[in-house]
């Protein structure tokens, strides 16, 4: 054991006396130092003392903003199934029309000594300062999936939004579209920011000036009506195709285009994002970027399970590539629409 203590001490950058104090649960060790020693134990395969093992409830909260967007139920189902297989009990928490919010759910989950929480499309920061502080102080295991804002101290998983936009733009560009719009969420929405970054990079690589492509960008809430409302502004810019930040927005664009008397895809090609349920059955079947929901759910549950078992997971963002699913909502632009 002495040689192991030496290895742990060397890895953590502390003395063997400090390692022994941590192993004995001494309060005379600063918290950052204690964390370094515990991390060294995990990395070197030394079992933590039983006294330091965290006993947590098997309950795991799945916090999603709503169930209207079909991608959220898809993630909830994938996460719940994988949690069940590992012996955890998923608890679905979603905002309701009568005012039950993330903050309410977090208060209830903390009262049950929750084992961990997976936030999908939101984060503990959205719940409120008091709830976020309580989660941090109690070191509740957390994983964020497609988080809407910056959370640098927590393990995060997300679809590679910039790559998805690049895929969609390349597909439309090969078909002959030269003026392609982008419809994404509000300006501060992190996945939308990444999509806009990919959009900018695509046009910059082709020598198109920022002042040319910026009018092709619209921001909206993630709803059918918001997507429908945005169509007029995009069409006014002479675009022949639009890449959307969600399938819901894309379906709204189809609706809005028809209100304008435009046919999809003959007069306006549309690309969505998510490949939600039933996108192959809408009219027209939607070309969209498919999120790898199963792979992201597996990674999220693995990261959460490691935390629940007392292991540290590195904070930061892991990106997952999407697949472009080509269906009938995109086609070549009409010859008369092409620039002269």
Q: Which CATH architecture has domain 161-291+324-337?
A: 3-Layer(aba) Sandwich (3.40)
Instruction: Judge whether 271 and 211 are in contact, CB under 8 Å.
Output: no
Instruction: Judge whether 241 and 330 are in contact, CB under 8 Å.
Output: yes
pLDDT given at position 50: 57
53 pLDDT band, cuts 50/70/90, is very low
Q: pLDDT tens across 283-338, in order?
A: 999 999 999 999 999 999 999 999 998 887 888 899 999 999 999 999 999 865 54
* CATH fold for domain 59-158+292-321: Rossmann fold (3.40.50)
Q: Rounded to the nearest 5°, which phi and psi values hold at 21?
A: -65, -40
In words, the CATH class of domain 2-52 is mainly alpha
* Alpha-carbon distance values, 115 to 51, 102, 148 (Å): 18, 17, 23
More confident residue, 10 or 246: 246
Q: Do domains 59-158+292-321 and 161-291+324-337 have the same CATH topology?
A: yes
Residue with tokens 């304008």: 260
Q: What is the mean pLDDT of residues 230-247?
A: 97
Q: pLDDT tens across 20-37, in order?
A: 888 877 667 787 888 888
Domain spans of the chain, in order of start: 2-52, 59-158+292-321, 161-291+324-337
Instruction: Judge whether 214 and 275 are in contact, CB under 8 Å.
Output: no
List all residues 6 or more positions away from 11 whose beta carbon is below 8 Å from its beta carbon: 40, 43, 44
Q: Report the alpha-carbon distance of residue 325 to residue 210 in Å, rounded.
A: 29
Q: What is the pTM of this model?
A: 0.81
């Amino acid at each position: 054991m002495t040689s192991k203590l030496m290895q742990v001490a060397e890895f953590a950058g502390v003395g063997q006396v400090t390692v022994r104090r941590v192993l004995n649960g001494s309060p005379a060790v600063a918290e950052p130092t204690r964390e370094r020693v515990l991390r060294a134990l995990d990395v070197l395969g030394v079992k933590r003392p039983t006294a330091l093992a965290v006993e947590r409830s098997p309950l795991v909260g799945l916090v999603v903003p709503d169930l209207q967007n079909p991608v959220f139920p898809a993630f909830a189902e994938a996460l719940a199934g994988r949690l069940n297989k590992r012996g955890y009990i998923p608890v679905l928490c979603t905002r309701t029309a009568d005012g039950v919010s993330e903050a309410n759910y977090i208060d209830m989950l903390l009262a049950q000594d929750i084992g961990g929480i997976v936030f999908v499309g939101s984060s503990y920061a959205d719940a409120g300062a008091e709830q976020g502080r309580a989660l941090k102080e109690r070191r509740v295991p957390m994983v964020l999936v497609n988080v809407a804002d910056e959370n640098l101290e927590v393990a995060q998983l997300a679809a590679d939004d910039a790559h998805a936009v690049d895929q969609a733009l390349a597909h439309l560009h090969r078909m002959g579209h030269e003026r392609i719009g982008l419809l994404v969420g509000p300006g501060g929405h992190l996945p939308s920011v990444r999509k806009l970054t990919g959009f900018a990079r695509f046009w910059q690589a082709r020598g198109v000036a920022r002042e040319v492509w910026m009018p092709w960008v619209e921001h909206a809430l993630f709803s059918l009506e918001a997507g429908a409302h945005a169509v007029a502004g995009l069409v006014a810019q002479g675009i022949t195709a639009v890449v959307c930040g969600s399938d819901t927005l894309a379906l709204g664009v189809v609706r809005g285009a028809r209100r304008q008397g435009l046919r999809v895809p003959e007069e306006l090609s549309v690309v969505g994002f998510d490949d939600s349920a039933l996108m192959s059955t809408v009219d027209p079947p939607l070309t969209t970027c498919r999120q790898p929901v199963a792979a992201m759910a597996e990674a999220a549950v693995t990261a959460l399970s490691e935390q629940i078992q007392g292991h540290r997971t590195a904070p930061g963002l892991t990106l997952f590539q999407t697949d472009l699913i080509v269906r009938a909502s995109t086609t070549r632009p009409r010859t008369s629409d092409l620039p002269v």
